[in-house]
Structure 1
Amino acid sequence: MIPSTCAIAGIGATEFSKDSGRSELRLAVEAVRAALDDAGLRPGDVAGLVTFGMDNNPEIAVARELGIGELRFLSRIGYGGGAACAVVQQAVLAVDAGLADVVVCYRALNERSGRRFGRPVTPPDPDAGWHYPMGLATPAAMIAMVARRYLHDYGATTDDFGRVAVAMRRHAATNPAAWFAGRPITLDEHRASRWIAEPLRLLDCCQESDGAVALVVTSLSRARDLSARPAVIAAAAQGSGPDQFVMTSYYRSEVAALPEMSVVGCQLWEQSGLGPADVRAAVLYDHFTPYVMMQLEELGFCGRGEARHFLADGAIELDGRLPVNPHGGQLGEAYIHGMNGITEAVRQIRGTAANQIPGDGPILVTAGTGVPTSGLILRSG
């Protein structure tokens, strides 16, 4: 069990756009500087940097541009969006081990104006050899196979996927920082959006965004003396399921499932001493709408195949039983590989979110699914 000895003490982000007009390194530096300013810290206070294996900005370059000076801890986490919460876990481990007292996690990308993840590329790893020859060369195409099996196994329809998209866009509509601020959609608009890879429509797929996000992790005792209200890291976990592939796994006995998220969820509940009923709101990695439904099931908010019923009664709305992605998620706010979801969780803990969920209960955050993944539980402190 990870004791609640660390906290997120600062958050920072650039604007979210489709063409940032500047380099990814500049975006990273802007976000880190904003996070340090939020915490009331200086670059010289930073002893460690953690980012994604896919980030193009070396830790030493970020440190050099900010004037951080010496670093005592550097780390990167692989598996794309699955790293989002794991970078925070890595920072916690460094702080708890006494390796670095202040660690900054960052992710910067020009994913719309630069390399677009939705386009086929040279197979990135040996696992791709199993599905690239069959034409499954984009994330949407790979996940469409699992989505089709989910519909078959549980009697769900593409309208159920649409209900997720509509809710996320509704939440984004009242978030001034969201790309889709003021632009909700209807279920009919979802139905009319073009196919990307059947049964996934355009509005089932997350955005392609430019931007950067950074987080400052330090000990809880130090965080309490800094500028902003700390968000206590009550639990942090990583997980990979049996027979794991990337982006999804076709050779398991049960295809329409995300066992890696179950591995993470079990650790989160055990570490924190909490359960699904205790969660005030959930920030779920919504790169594709069916994976939101499957996460609800894997994390124990409803039974296997029951997410469609959970959605039907408005449970994920802002006033529902489990508000999901009050900021609009990656479907509505921006796709910054899940890092903007962590900043939303911190805002919810601080009471400063655009769509603030009442109460003082904990906030659950998840990272990318279909790959080895990670999760967090944040609480006030």
Structure 2
Amino acid sequence: MSRYRPDTAAIAGIGETEYTRGTDKSGLQLLMEASLKACADAGIESGAVDGLVMTSRVGTNEDFVAGLGITDLKFHAHIKIGGASPVAGLHLACHAVASGIAERVLVSAGRNAYSSMRLGATDSGPRVVWPGDDIRRNLEYPYGMIAPMQWYSLHANRWFHETNASREGMATVALNTRRHAHLNPRAWFRDRPMSREDYDASPMLVTPFKLLDVCLETDGAAAILVTRADAARRAGGKPPVYVAATAEGHPDSPDDLSNRPDILGMGIGKAAPRALDIAGIRLDELDFAEIYDCFTFIVLRQLEEIGFCQRGEAPDFVANGRIALGGELPLNTHGGLLSQAHISGMNHVVEAVRQLRGDAGQAQVAGAHLGLVTGYGDFGDGAIAILHN
């Protein structure tokens, strides 16, 4: 797909549900609720949506046509690269509006990840089908490797072995996101404090991951409405947030982590240079970053692969308040997947828009003008967006 001109597309509306652990609403109901809110926020009728990008296993284009009253759907797509899907969905939506395929593209994400489809559940229910399912079932499940924390531990332990990196960085990320969640009324952990002693005392699940290194399982949904930048300015909703660049990237042998030529290789390492080139910016110009955080370790590794620092240096990079509000690069100002909610990272995009509108409340980054959002999916898929006001 051809490269679109920066600032052709904008995020005109955002919407999100309450984030809970337990709900009577179906996943589809949550997606519709968030989508309707995004349309209202953009100042358009939901029936005027003419493009859909769906990033969840829940819902079809027909469901959205019926639920939103869409009268002329011109474009739809499903993206299935796990937690990279929402930002990759934004990437696709930008191209759709820039090319003229559609004018108002809704990108949604959400599910009942606590009430159903829980990775930690022991009762019978729908089986989670992972990418590379044949590899998982035939080569890994027989040896007890059945959960993401086990797969990602291979990457993490190799990183520690090769770089002799400090484990302090994981604690820094965990504590930082929890502090930011306390400032966010929409965060699940908003009133649940965590001290360093709490972090150290949390049980080791799979080396090197403690319980408090692992993201939440929550119910909820969020959506964004992408339009041409000039249309967003005319729509009469909230101030638009402009898309300076987007990109996606994928690791070599994307489903086979243990046999990858470089087990530390990640798709974000390919996507980030492309996005920075399109936007024409340097990393030190960013005012904040919302980094996909399924595990504290994944935050550290993305910072390295994006280019903020070299491999093994991320623990030092995040130290001394650099990623806190008021620091050089405030990180995951909403609390992230670790402390706000896990809806595949669409809440990271929503938070970036809030920051650039100046609507982030107590978590507002002073003078925020330029921000970065990432997605991380499955076994290393990556997506990135650079946004500005």
TM-score (norm 1): 0.95
Cα shift at 1:118: 4.6
The AA in structure 2 aligned to 1:326 is: T
Aligned to 1:80: 82
**Is the contact between residue 289 and residue 331 of structure 2 (CA under 8 Å) also seen in structure 1?**
yes
Aligned to 2:206: 197
**Is the contact between residue 89 and residue 236 of structure 1 (CA under 8 Å) also seen in structure 2?**
yes
**Is the contact between residue 288 and residue 330 of structure 2 (CA under 8 Å) also seen in structure 1?**
yes
Q: Does 1:51 align with 2:61?
A: no
**Is the contact between residue 86 and residue 108 of structure 2 (CA under 8 Å) also seen in structure 1?**
no
The AA in structure 2 aligned to 1:282 is: A
Q: Does 1:186 align with 2:195?
A: yes
Question: What SS does the aligned partner of 1:367 have?
Answer: strand
Q: Does 1:307 align with 2:314?
A: yes
What is the RMSD of the two structures over their aligned residues, measured on CA atoms?
1.6
Q: Does 1:252 align with 2:254?
A: no
**C-alpha distance in 1 between matches for 2:135 and 2:84:** 16
Residue correspondence of structure 1 range 141-152 to structure 2 within 5 A:
141-152=150-161
**Is the contact between residue 75 and residue 102 of structure 2 (CA under 8 Å) also seen in structure 1?**
yes
**Is the contact between residue 84 and residue 368 of structure 1 (CA under 8 Å) also seen in structure 2?**
no
**C-alpha distance in 2 between matches for 1:55 and 1:24:** 9
Q: Does 1:6 align with 2:13?
A: no
Q: Does 1:278 align with 2:285?
A: yes
Instruction: Deviation per CA, 1:293-350: give whole Å up to 9, x if none.
Output: 0111111111111011112222111121111101111101100100000000000110
% same residue: 36
Residues 1:19 and 1:123: Cα distance change in structure 2 (over 3 Å): closer
Cα shift at 1:361: 2.8
**Is the contact between residue 87 and residue 383 of structure 2 (CA under 8 Å) also seen in structure 1?**
yes
Instruction: Deviation per CA, 1:71-93: give whole Å up to 9, x if none.
Output: 11110111211212011111111
Residues 1:28 and 1:314: Cα distance change in structure 2 (over 3 Å): same
Runs of 4+ with >6 A deviation: none
**Is the contact between residue 111 and residue 219 of structure 2 (CA under 8 Å) also seen in structure 1?**
yes
Aligned to 2:346: 339
**C-alpha distance in 2 between matches for 1:285 and 1:48:** 25
Cα shift at 1:199: 1.4
Residues 1:192 and 1:360: Cα distance change in structure 2 (over 3 Å): closer
The AA in structure 2 aligned to 1:126 is: D
Cα shift at 1:24: 0.9
Aligned to 1:110: 112
**Is the contact between residue 279 and residue 363 of structure 1 (CA under 8 Å) also seen in structure 2?**
yes
Cα shift at 1:254: 3.4
Q: Mind listing any 5+ residue stretches in structure 2 that lack a counterpart?
A: none
Question: What SS does the aligned partner of 2:18 have?
Answer: coil
**C-alpha distance in 2 between matches for 1:212 and 1:122:** 19
Residues 169-178 or 122-131, more deviating = 122-131
Q: Does 1:324 align with 2:310?
A: no
**Is the contact between residue 49 and residue 73 of structure 1 (CA under 8 Å) also seen in structure 2?**
yes
Instruction: Deviation per CA, 1:269-309: give whole Å up to 9, x if none.
Output: 11100121111100000000111001111111111110111
Q: Does 1:235 align with 2:242?
A: no
**C-alpha distance in 2 between matches for 1:206 and 1:122:** 17
Residues 269-278 or 111-120, more deviating = 111-120
**C-alpha distance in 1 between matches for 2:17 and 2:134:** 35
**C-alpha distance in 2 between matches for 1:378 and 1:119:** 37
**C-alpha distance in 2 between matches for 1:44 and 1:214:** 15
Aligned to 1:266: 273
The AA in structure 2 aligned to 1:89 is: H
Question: What SS does the aligned partner of 2:165 have?
Answer: coil
